[in-house]
Amino acid sequence: MNEPAKVFVQATFGDSLAEASRSTGQTWTAAGIEVSWNDPEIVVSAIREVSRVALRWEQPLAPEVLVLGDAWERSYGDLQWRHLQPDRLLPWYWLAHDRRTGTTTGMGVDVHPGAFCSWTVDLAGVTLWLDLRNGGGPTRLGGRSLVAAVVRRFEDAGTPWLTLQGAVESMSSRLPARPEPVPVVGANNWYYAYGEGFDEKAVLQDAATVVELADGHPVKPFSVVDDGWNPGGNGSGGPWESGISGIFDDMAGTAAAIKALGARPGLWFRPLLSRESGLWGRQGQNDGFGRALDPSYPEVLDLVRADLQRFRDWGYELVKHDFSTYDVFGRFGPAMGARLTDNGWQLHDTSRTTAEIVLAFYRELRAAAEDVVLIGCNTVGHLAAGLVDIQRTGDDTSGRDWERTRKMGVNSLAFRLPQHNRFFTLDADCVPCTPQTPWALNRQFLDLVARSGSALFVSVDPAARTERTDRELSDGIRLALSGGDAARGGIEPLDWLVNTTPNSWRAGGDEIRYDWSQPWGADPASG
């Protein structure tokens, strides 16, 4: 790969970007920061402080190209092929499709980088931005050399879809081979309960429902107890030592009862939030439900390991960990932008970049979970790859507003499906079956997710069950438990170049058209 034409550095975020000068070979220096291009690695070292590095490749693009990127963590209905926009931030990778020639090319970085990596693309070339900060301040590397990123170039593979698949494959080539995938299917109570008003009886009813709908399939479904089981209530933090008194008095007993019904028990928790004061908190981060914990403290990692051990001892076979990106950065993905977080605060260990600290946190979760199935929600996909079994790749669908399911769920599945079974098992989020949402539309989403072979979780409100919904839910669940259309070549969106929620899909050898529209069309107020 060609070396960058120019390199820029920034010691502190308020400084101007300084152009580095070539010192020796393929090494550039400025402001006490050294950047080396060891094709394909970018290595950064600094005696004192470093915040950002930018590397510029001068490679003209045609004005007619359409450009695609990824998202910092979950997507929010915002993934799309778009005309050239020089200020558009493209996390992790970019592809450009030339509509004149039909070719698609791009660049990206390997999973598990030492920096938060993003791209900007313009007519004259591309720039790779390496955010090397610690929280909202500079990192003090102390002279050590950090492999900030491993850069990959993507060549045309015949179609934009095949090129994206090849790109994801190349960025994950250093991960251990994934074991033979086992279908992940189950019940999750969030999209009818929303963390309130449910008890053990309702949880066991969910488990019985998904087992009934699986109808004797040899692959057992999961039944996940989502947010609301712990004493702090909906959205709160730990300690995660017991359930709500009088409602979930025996969490081990609940897990055993789910197993006795024929399902595999799962549990939600928020690992980096605590209702206790005086712990190892993150500077300035308190959202009203508790104090955010700083994962650069060894004591915080000890707490998280103890939580996972407890859940394993209780008998839970799946754990969903949530909110950790928000608890570290104080922002969800759309608000992170190029700054990621507020300026002026830092994590306890200022010698490591935020990317290094988050990656170490994910590794601790993976090691502590052992054979428990891990779902990462609000986790950074490029750092969590290979360290979660399942990744929630889009923001929440909805049991109250169909338009949110179309916007979030369909968009996430369409644009991130190439990550499935390469980075992790993809989870485009739950299919609701509720009185508030139209089953005719939810049923189509169920069919698409089931065919994809990605994770399928359903939220079935007992009040919405009918003979028809049960029959169609059972058909979808059994298809997903059998691996969907993976054996027939998987699925592919056909109109994704021009549609953020594709209607036309190829599934196996068939072309299928879905109609996601409500009678009045999309509701712009539902976002």
The pLDDT tens digits for 459-491 are 999 999 999 999 999 999 999 999 999 878 889
pLDDT in tens, 409-463: 999 999 999 999 999 999 999 999 999 999 999 999 999 999 999 999 999 999 9
Domain membership flag for residue 148: yes
Q: Calculate the average pLDDT of the chain.
A: 95
pLDDT in tens, 254-273: 999 999 999 999 999 999 99
- Single out the residue of 483, 438, 479 nearest to residue 213, CA to CA: 479
Domain membership flag for residue 509: no
Q: Say how many domains are in the chain.
A: 1
- The per-residue pLDDT for 286 is 67
- The per-residue pLDDT for 289 is 72
Residue 495 has pLDDT above 90, yes or no: yes
Return the minimum-mean-pLDDT range out of 226-230, 231-235, 384-388: 231-235
- Single out the residue of 401, 474, 390 nearest to residue 194, CA to CA: 401
Q: Are strands 41-46 and 139-140 parallel, antiparallel or unpaired?
A: unpaired
SS (H, E, C) 202-235: HHHHHHHHHHHHHCCCCCCCEEEECCCCCCCCCC
Distance from C-alpha of 173 to C-alpha of 183, rounded to nearest angstrom: 23
pLDDT in tens, 111-127: 999 999 999 999 999 99
Domain membership flag for residue 114: yes
Residue 310 has pLDDT above 90, yes or no: yes
Distance from C-alpha of 84 to C-alpha of 63, rounded to nearest angstrom: 7
349 pLDDT band (50/70/90 cuts)? very high
pLDDT in tens, 162-177: 999 999 999 999 998 8
- The per-residue pLDDT for 521 is 80
Q: Are strands 456-460 and 431-433 parallel, antiparallel or unpaired?
A: parallel
Residue located via tokens 């190209």: 65
pLDDT > 90 fraction of the chain, expressed in percent and rounded: 89
Residue 527 has pLDDT above 70, yes or no: no
Domain membership flag for residue 158: yes
pLDDT in tens, 69-99: 999 999 999 999 999 999 999 999 999 999 9
pTM of the complete model beyond 0.95: yes
Domain membership flag for residue 41: yes
Domain membership flag for residue 453: no
Domain membership flag for residue 400: no
Domain that holds residue 86: 6-171
Q: Which helix (H) or strand (E) segment is 104 a member of?
A: strand 104-109
Residue 282 has pLDDT above 90, yes or no: no
Residue 360 has pLDDT above 80, yes or no: yes
Domain membership flag for residue 228: no
